[in-house]
A and B are shown apart, each in its own frame.
Chain A
Amino acid sequence: MKLNNRYYALLCGLTFVSLSCAQQTLEVLEPWVRIPPPGMNMLAGYGEFTNSSNSTIELVSAQSENFKSISFHISEIVDGISKMTKLESVLLRPGETARFEPGGKHLMISTPQYDERPEQVQIEFLSVSGKRYQVNFVFLNSEP
């Protein structure tokens, strides 16, 4: 059975929910990383991050054994000019959703560490309070 992009990303997001810590606090729907052109070391990751807990979550970093570094960025168009700015953290109040999408907030992912690109990669997010959240991102060519 061939899954289309949307269902594949959704499946991985749900997989994350079931695999994450018993206290389900951060949900990520349709997490995906854009398949990079050959030789490209800069990638972007996207997804819909929802804080389903009763307390604020402030994500301060992200890491993966598959990449050298991951940081939070936002692309904005100001006076017709695209600017990319690093975000020091991503704050999610209880019930709040942050959408990481092309042309907006995104994970800036640098330098793959794998020889052959896997179908999906796990990225771990760290909150300011020290909680860790693992999310599986699938590689896709375009938005699910």
Chain B
Amino acid sequence: MRIYHELNMKPLHLISVAITALLIGCYQSEEPVTTKTATIVNPPIPLAELSLVQHNGTAFDHTTLQGKWTLMFFGFTFCPDVCPTTLQLLALSLQKIEQSGIENAQVVFVSVDPERDTPERLEEYLAHFDEKFIGVTGELTDIESFTQSIGVVFAHNSLDESGFYAVDHTTVILMVNDKAELGGISSAPHKWEDIADDFMTVRAQ
């Protein structure tokens, strides 16, 4: 059994958002900006209000995002393959971004498995990739509200014989600007150089 954590379970919702954003961008931009793989959201879409918790126990809301440029990824710490792979790429991307002189970039990992991903667990897990990474968890309903608002979906699978359950989840990396607005969407498969370059392109808009 898969319990989809989105009201209407629209797996293509995010793609719709991306296409709409792309079309809006085409009309608004005189000279189209080229990215390697990401879709620029132009004009940027303000994120819905959110009330989550950072791995250090403090609140995660718009104030955490304002003044920073954020790469945001969704996953779970029990994920053996896609999540650690993507986080490793994000660590390399962040390095490149910082080496280019950008000081206000951050990576946020939002758990779609809050029952297992406590703040303490997120802190220990993310430090393996980069101690600067911010882990975010919270009440499942609050995470659902946030993910639904931006078209990110996830689904908890049933337990296997060993008591493990996986979580299907959207693999996009969101690029959030310093006003807490969605400015770009990077879709898998990801390459760390492309993530970094596209992030800087979106930031330069």
Contacts and interface: CB of A to CB of B under 8 A. Distances in A.
A42 B164 contact: yes
B43 interface: no
Q: Is the interface of B mostly helix, strand, loop or mixed?
A: loop
B188 A82 contact: yes
Interface stretch (A3-11, A103-111, A120-128): A103-111
Given A80-B172, A81-B153, A82-B188, A39 B121 contact: yes
Interface stretch (B20-28, B45-53, B77-85): B77-85
A15 interface: no
B168 A103 contact: no
A118 interface: no
Contacts of A75: 81-82
Contact of B169 (A41, A42, A82, A109): A82
B18 to A, nearest CB: 9
Interface residues of A, number: 31
A86 B122 CA distance: 26
A41 B160 CA distance: 15
A75 B75 CA distance: 13
Interface in B123-164: 124-129, 153-155, 160, 162, 164
B170 interface: yes
Interface of B: 11-12, 14-15, 77-82, 84-85, 88, 121, 124-129, 153-155, 160, 162, 164, 166, 168-172, 187-189
B80 A80 contact: no
Contacts of B129: 37
B160 A44 contact: no
A42 B80 CA distance: 5
Contacts of B85: 102-103
A110 to B, nearest CB: 6
9 contacts: A40-B125, A42-B78, A42-B80, A42-B164, A77-B171, A80-B187, A82-B168, A82-B171, A103-B188
Interface of A: 34, 36-44, 68-69, 73, 75, 77-84, 86, 102-103, 106, 108-110, 141-142
Contacts of B77: 37, 40
User: By CB atoms of chain B within 10 A, which of A43, A68, A75, A82 has the most?
Assistant: A82
B171 A80 contact: yes
Contacts of B11: 78-81
Contact of A44 (B81, B162, B170, B171): B81
Contacts of B169: 81-82
Given A37-B84, A103-B188, A81 B171 contact: yes
Contacts of A37: 77, 84, 124-129
Nearest to B92: A142
A37 B127 CA distance: 8
B125 A81 contact: no
A103 B80 contact: no
A21 B117 CA distance: 43
